[in-house]
């Protein structure tokens, strides 16, 4: 079952909203546009969450502000404000997230940054959230490459600022590896390998893998590596060139814990080289 | 159970048609000829679909037009007209499908193009449908090679026109890889490898694979690659030489959403170099 | 349970024949001799089939002619006369089967050709049937090599006559590969590899495979390949030298659909170079 | 449970013999000595078989002759005298078995040949039976090497006499491969590999295999091969040098179908070079 | 479910403490700070253990001392004082543990050593326990490298002092291997390999592994090895340079069986080079 | 559950001894010291066995002699005196066991030889039993190397004396391989490989194995081999130098079937070079 598109989402939101009291300022079309990639179940759970938060916060009706909070919770998990985090780890997290956000911001065509936070949510110490401008059904090579850059931005920022790297980037690196491997082996996006797919054997799922020579395995490794190295260099260049923006963003995060698109716009305007 | 041949299909169609009201213009022989590869179940579902569409459209009887719509639905899945697709993605899809269609059209001996559409159906943003002139029980090397060219035509058109490639061609590339591998490893169609079969091990299905040296694996890789590269070059040549036809076809698709064999004939007549 | 020998087959045939009306011309000894390799179940089913055909054809008793038809059906599957096959495919099939038959005919010591047909049966578009003169409990290297030649004769005939190859030879090639691999890896028939067996690992059947070096895998590959190439060359030589016989046989098949040993004898007598 | 030794076998035979009528010439000690390697169940089944044969042959009591027949049946399976075998295959079988027997006879320290037959038994067209002089609990390198020679003697005799090889030696070759591989990988009998064991991985039996480099795999392959080649050369030398004995033995088999140790002694005495 | 943080632990401790009699000197905040990494279940079991020990030792209430004993038991298993250990093994154990402790102590930024003991507990002959100063949610490359050094310190001390090595370090080495492999293959901490993950295939858990060339495998091996060698050299340097501290610590262990942070401070103050 | 230590064993023995009549000469402390490595179940079964033997031999009470017999039975399996073994095999066994015993005796630090026998027990034709002087919880590299030498002593003795080798050493060689592989791959005892563990994949136990390059596999093979070769050379040197002791020990075994530590001391005193 495919995800609902914007019209579908609006319809789903309105259905679930019938059960609760809604403030007059709520504009369902805006909310539908701001929730691309949400499933029907996620939309329903967002409305429920908004009703709960509204009650808990003593609001008479579900308004736009509480819907925004509910959306964040559905997208990023519950906040874990009680977690005690050392000053050092907070700083590392702030620069890590600022690294993601700054690379995304500076990459033409990347999905716009929606919000960046260093309040722990779920298993993460911080989060950078991007929201696409429009719904897309396929992705082009350039935007996949931009995703690689953005994912690597966190680790690189740690490296530049602290001359140290942490296990915290493990999940970013796994996603980078997965996307780069699919670009080469599934989507035919390496000129050297060409339009051909390769699938590792997975016996438990009845998949036999292809016959593959060591030479081909080496060519694939080389391409995947070179893709990741290019993204790494591109992201590093951005962060080195825009170091003042990076620092300002991290400081803003340490001060305010969460910054939004508008805050970033302001910082970039002031500090951009 | 083998698929019914043309006589079988006509018989099956007539059996199912007994239950519904049929317009006098319906010619079962023509329809049977136009549905090669349909199973008995698909033919039955096509008649049912036609009856439903007929009622929905307020037609007194099932006529040839509604049967054609029903056939498209069975072959390609239901239309998803509600999907909101960006202008950019629509353009990419139009050129992608035009690429498939043009390569198929220009390749002597390829199955004729029946219809091309950029109305989303099922999981696809667009479709190019070919219908064989006659039923064939085996395929020769030339027509398999033509299939490779046609499948690659979509990706290549994107590359030529937008200087960009997308994940949308992933499925085409998987089919290309599968056919090219079977040509070399199952049908003995590579002169270098010769008339010998190779099967990767698939333990869960009790298949052990052959003993195979690295040297043989390399030879197979080389042959599969060279087959795909040749098809790629052949398809690219067609699209580069016939760029005006490609552009005209894509524009026609953007304008009319669906074009048929006759439309293509017209475009080709006007624009062919 | 081993297959019955000629005496066993005659006994089995007589047991099952008790239930039906038999014409005086039926000679069970002849039939037993003509059904080597039949299992008890196949002999029983042949008698049943003969009884059915006899009734369907309005014959008063089961006679030799109807037993021959029943034998063909058991050996080769039911005829599928309703299948509509293009002229082109019929020609390809005729030359393919003539290729098998001619190589078998010209190879000293190969099992004699019993019947050749281009009437589709089961999943095959045509069939060449050989019947051994005597029952053998083991096979020598020469007769296995002859089998490789005969199996390859179909594909080679297509190549020579149409300069094209088809997927139709896929099953022949799989059998060629299987026999050649067993000659080298199971029956010790390659002088280079010597009297040693190699078995690929098959974990689901509890078979571990041997320790095997890349060098040995390469030697096995080389031997299997060279065996198939030699058989290919030998078969091609026969078909090139006896092209008039090949053409005449194919034409006879296109005209009469089925030809027997006697027809081939006649053609060979007239056309042999 | 280990196999009974000679004292154990005599005890078991006497227990089972209580149930039947025994001729006064029966000497249980002799029979126990002549049945090394028999399990308790096999000894019981031998007594039962003897009782049955005795009745069938109208003998008043179970005597030494009928016990010998019963022993053969238990060791080699029932005779299949009804099998119709071509003269050609009979000749090949006679020379194959004579090859086994002659190599065993001429190899100092090999277990003495007890009986050779070309009457089909079970799945075999012929059999050469050796009986050890004494029971041994371990085997030395020399006697394993002799077993390799004896097993290869059948295939080599076919090669020398008919200049042809058959699938009939498949089982001999599998045993040769198995013994040679165990000599190298399990019993440390190759000087080059040394006293170290190697076990291929067998996941279904929870065995992981060792880490093993390609270099080691190659060394193992080389040793196994060289062992088999040496045995092959040794056996071939015997058969070439003693060709008149081979011919005489095969002719005796064709004439008498079964020959015993005494017959072979006589032939060797007359024909040995 | 994530582990509780310091506030969570204090809450859990207080809940479980309600059931028992607590001495006035017990300070839950201190205890919560001293039990980082404890799960809720471990905290509960620590309180129970303290109650049991208190009764067994005839104490009127659970006091700080008995809580410390309970904490040790939960962290390290029950003491096995009855085990008879040879003088030789006791000495080896003392130097092994002193090796761990000294390397940890001398490595800036490593977690402080809490306690070292040569009283056998569970399956271990001795233990060195470190307690982090603060809770960390991710680990940086430097502290992982320090862990490698500390783990190797035990084996190296044996080597330096006794010129002998034992199986006792097997578990340390397994942890070293695991951490070094994850640094290279999971956390992207090798500059040569870069930010990319590699996962060995694990069919039973449905994980297919990546396509990987021999070249990449070699690069990974080289990096993992070089990481371990560097940690080995760093740890060895510390132990060679601070040999008097190592000797004094081992002697203190042999005399007192358990030494704490304060004892180590004293030894280091006196003996440090 | 860990094995009981000496105090534990004495306690267990006394508990089980309550049920039987014990001679005044029985000293449980001595027995507990002489049964290192015995589990509780083995100790219980030793007492039961002693009671049975005592009754069978008509002794009024369980005395030290009968306890010694019971201990041998539990450690080595029941004697199989009825087995008929050829003189040749007896000689080979005597030298094989003398080889084990002599190498163990001459290796400083090896566990002392307790008893050597050529009376078959369980599946073995002979046994050499060593008893450690003290209980050890870990093993050092030297004592593992000594175990390799002792295990190889049997095979080498056969080689030196008979210039022949047998399958009888298969089990020794398997243990040698296993220990040498663990020294290199599990206990980090090869200087070339270093302190790193390697584990072959074992899918059924959910173990994935590590990524490993061919180069590393080769290095491991080389180290394991060189370890075994060194042990082989060391053991061979001992046996060649002390050939008179070897001969005397084997002759003593052939004469007396079982020799004890004292007998060996005597032989060594007389014959040592």
CA distance E39 to chain A (A): 15
Select the residue of C83, C152, C220 nearest B5 (Cβ to Cβ). C83
Q: Does F219 touch chain E (CB under 8 A)?
A: no
Q: Domains (ranges, CATH) in chain E?
A: 6-76 (1.10.8.60), 87-271 (1.20.58.760)
- DSSP tag of B109: T
Residue C175's CB is within 10 A of a number of other CB atoms, namely 14
Mean pLDDT over residues B236-255, rounded? 97
- DSSP tag of A212: -
Q: Which residues of chain E neighbour A83 with C-beta distances below 8 Å? A: 5
Residue E1 has pLDDT above 60, yes or no: no
Higher pLDDT, B83 or F10: F10
Q: Which residues of chain F neighbour D142 with C-beta distances below 8 Å? A: 164
- Indicate yes or no: CB of C86 within 8 angstroms of CB of B203: no
Residue E130 has pLDDT above 60, yes or no: yes
Q: Does C213 touch chain D (CB under 8 A)?
A: yes
Whole-number pLDDT of residue C114:
87
C97 is catalytic: yes
- Indicate yes or no: CB of E155 within 8 angstroms of CB of F188: yes
Residue E98, helix vs strand vs coil: helix
Q: How far apart are the first and last CA of chain E?
A: 46
Q: How many residues does chain C have?
A: 273
Residue C206 has pLDDT above 70, yes or no: no
- Indicate yes or no: CB of A221 within 8 angstroms of CB of E201: no
**A176-187 b/e (C-beta count within 10 Å ≥ 16 → b):** bbebbbbbbbeb
- Indicate yes or no: CB of D186 within 8 angstroms of CB of F164: no
Q: How far apart are the first and last CA of chain B?
A: 46
Query: Which of C138, C141, C144, C200 to mutate to probe the D interface, most D CBs <10 Å?
Result: C138
Q: Which residues of chain E neighbour F8 with C-beta distances below 8 Å? A: 82
- Indicate yes or no: CB of E165 within 8 angstroms of CB of F186: no
CA distance D204 to chain C (A): 6
Whole-number pLDDT of residue E8:
86
Neighbours of chain B (3+ CB pairs under 8 A): A, C
**CA dist list (Å): C74 to A179, C17, C57, E62:** 55, 16, 18, 90
Whole-number pLDDT of residue A203:
63
Q: Which residues of chain D neighbour C33 with C-beta distances below 8 Å? A: none
The set of catalytic residues of A is: 97
Whole-number pLDDT of residue B240:
97
Residue F222 has pLDDT above 60, yes or no: yes
Q: How far apart are CA C195 and CA D224, in angstroms?
A: 11
Q: Does D135 touch chain F (CB under 8 A)?
A: yes
- Indicate yes or no: CB of A169 within 8 angstroms of CB of E186: no
Read off the pLDDT of residues C78-135 as tens digits, 9 standing for 90 and up. Answer: 887 777 788 999 999 999 999 999 999 999 878 889 899 999 887 788 989 887 767 7
CA distance C3 to chain B (A): 26
Q: Does D212 touch chain C (CB under 8 A)?
A: yes
Neighbours of chain E (3+ CB pairs under 8 A): A, F
Q: Does A209 touch chain B (CB under 8 A)?
A: yes
Select the residue of D2, D144, D208 nearest F202 (Cβ to Cβ). D208
Say if residues F177 and F221 touch (Cβ distance below 8 Å). Answer: no
pTM of the entire predicted model: 0.90
Counting other chains too, the contacts that A185-190 makes at CB distance below 8 Å and 24 or more residues apart are A185/A220, A185/E211, A186/B170, A186/B173, A186/B174, A187/B165, A187/B166, A187/B167, A187/B169, A187/B170, A187/B173, A188/B155, A188/B165, A188/B169, A188/B170, A188/B173, A189/A141, A189/A144, A189/B165, A190/A223, A190/A227
Q: How far apart are CA B149 and CA B102, in angstroms?
A: 10
Share of chain C above pLDDT 70, in %: 96
CA distance A193 to chain B (A): 9
Choosing from B10, B68, B79, B97, the catalytic residue is B97
Tell me which range, A106-120, B76-90, B174-188, E196-210, is most confidently predicted by mean pLDDT.
B174-188
Between B197-211, C215-229, D172-186, the lowest mean confidence (pLDDT) is in B197-211
Higher pLDDT, D273 or E204: D273
Select the residue of E82, E155, E166 nearest F195 (Cβ to Cβ). E155
Residue F68 has pLDDT above 80, yes or no: yes
Q: Which residues of chain A neighbour E212 with C-beta distances below 8 Å? A: 217, 221
Residue of A nearest to E3 (CA): A83
Residue C204 has pLDDT above 70, yes or no: no
Cβ contacts below 8 Å, chain B against chain C, sum to: 113
Q: Which residues of chain B neighbour A29 with C-beta distances below 8 Å? A: none
Residue of C nearest to B204 (CA): C204
- Of B251, B233, B231, B237, the closest CA to residue B98 belongs to B251
Read off the pLDDT of residues E23-57 as tens digits, 9 standing for 90 and up. Answer: 998 999 888 888 888 889 999 999 999 999 999 99
Share of chain D above pLDDT 70, in %: 96
Residue F33 has pLDDT above 80, yes or no: yes
Enumerate the H helices of C200-242 as residue ranges: 214-241
Choosing from F10, F49, F97, F158, the catalytic residue is F97
Read off the pLDDT of residues D25-83 as tens digits, 9 standing for 90 and up. Answer: 899 988 888 888 889 999 999 999 999 999 999 999 999 999 988 988 888 788 877 77
CA distance D263 to chain C (A): 28
CA distance B173 to chain A (A): 6
Residue C205 has pLDDT above 80, yes or no: no
Q: Name residues whose C-beta falls within 8 Å of residue A127's C-beta, 6 or more positions apart in sequence.
A: A76, A97, A115, A116, A117, A121
Q: Does F89 touch chain D (CB under 8 A)?
A: yes
Query: Which of D137, D141, D206, D214 to mutate to probe the F interface, most F CBs <10 Å?
Result: D137
Mean pLDDT over residues B44-65, rounded? 92
Mean pLDDT over residues B44-56, rounded? 92
- DSSP tag of F125: S
Q: Does E181 touch chain F (CB under 8 A)?
A: yes
Read off the pLDDT of residues A114-156 as tens digits, 9 standing for 90 and up. Answer: 899 999 887 788 889 887 766 678 899 999 999 999 999 999 9
Share of chain E above pLDDT 70, in %: 96
Between A118-132, D4-18, D244-258, F157-171, the lowest mean confidence (pLDDT) is in A118-132
Whole-number pLDDT of residue A75:
81
Backbone φ and ψ of A117, nearest 5°: -145, 150
CA distance C5 to chain D (A): 7
Whole-number pLDDT of residue E204:
62
Split at pLDDT 50, 70, 90, the class of B46 is very high
Token representation of residue C195: 């009297």
- Indicate yes or no: CB of F211 within 8 angstroms of CB of E220: yes
Read off the pLDDT of residues E153-211 as tens digits, 9 standing for 90 and up. Answer: 999 999 999 999 999 999 999 999 999 999 999 999 999 999 999 987 766 666 667 78
Residue of D nearest to F226 (CA): D194
CA D115 remoteness from chain centre: 10
Whole-number pLDDT of residue B133:
67
Residue A30 has pLDDT above 90, yes or no: no
Higher pLDDT, A84 or A107: A107
Q: How far apart are CA A188 and CA F226, in angstroms?
A: 48
Residue of E nearest to F1 (CA): E123
- Indicate yes or no: CB of A195 within 8 angstroms of CB of B232: yes
CA distance F202 to chain D (A): 5
In angstroms, how far apart are the furthest CA atoms of chain A? 67
Interface of E with F in 137-176 (CB under 8 A): 152, 155, 164-170, 172-174, 176
Tell me which range, C95-99, F7-11, F47-51, is most confidently predicted by mean pLDDT.
C95-99
Between A56-65, B79-88, C58-67, D60-69, the lowest mean confidence (pLDDT) is in B79-88
Select the residue of A89, A181, A203 nearest E137 (Cβ to Cβ). A89
Higher pLDDT, F134 or A223: A223
Split at pLDDT 50, 70, 90, the class of A187 is very high
Whole-number pLDDT of residue B226:
97
Q: Which residues of chain F neighbour E224 with C-beta distances below 8 Å? A: 196
Whole-number pLDDT of residue F8:
86
- Indicate yes or no: CB of A228 within 8 angstroms of CB of E194: yes
Whole-number pLDDT of residue C241:
97
Residue F108's CB is within 10 A of a number of other CB atoms, namely 6
Split at pLDDT 50, 70, 90, the class of E133 is low
Select the residue of C84, C198, C204 nearest B5 (Cβ to Cβ). C84
Split at pLDDT 50, 70, 90, the class of D136 is confident
């Amino acid at each position: 079952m495919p995800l609902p598109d914007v019209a579908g989402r609006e319809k789903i939101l309105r259905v679930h909203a019938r059960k609760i009291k809604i403030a007059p300022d709520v504009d369902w079309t805006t909310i539908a546009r701001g929730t691309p990639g949400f499933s029907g179940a996620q939309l329903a759970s967002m409305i429920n969450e908004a009703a709960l938060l509204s009650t808990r916060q003593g609001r008479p009706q579900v308004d736009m502000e509480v819907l925004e909070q509910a959306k964040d919770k559905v997208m990023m998990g519950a906040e874990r404000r009680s977690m005690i985090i050392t000053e050092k780890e907070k700083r590392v997290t702030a620069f890590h997230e600022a690294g993601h956000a700054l690379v995304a911001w500076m990459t033409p065509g990347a999905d716009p940054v929606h919000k960046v936070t260093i309040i722990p949510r779920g298993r993460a110490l911080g989060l950078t959230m991007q929201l696409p401008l429009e719904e897309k059904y396929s992705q082009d090579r350039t935007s996949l490459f931009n995703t690689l850059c953005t994912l690597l931005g966190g680790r690189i920022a740690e490296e530049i600022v602290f001359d140290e790297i942490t296990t915290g980037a493990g999940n970013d690196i796994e996603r980078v590896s997965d996307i780069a491997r699919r670009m080469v082996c599934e989507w035919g996006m390496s000129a050297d390998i060409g339009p051909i797919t390769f699938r590792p054997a997975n016996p438990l799922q009845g998949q036999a893998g292809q016959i593959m020579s060591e030479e081909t395995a080496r060519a694939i490794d080389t391409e995947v590596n070179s893709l990741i190295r290019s993204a790494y260099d591109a992201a590093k260049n951005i962060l080195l060139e825009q170091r003042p923006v990076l620092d300002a963003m991290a400081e803003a995060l340490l001060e305010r814990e969460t910054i939004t698109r508008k805050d970033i716009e302001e910082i970039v305007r002031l500090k951009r080289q």
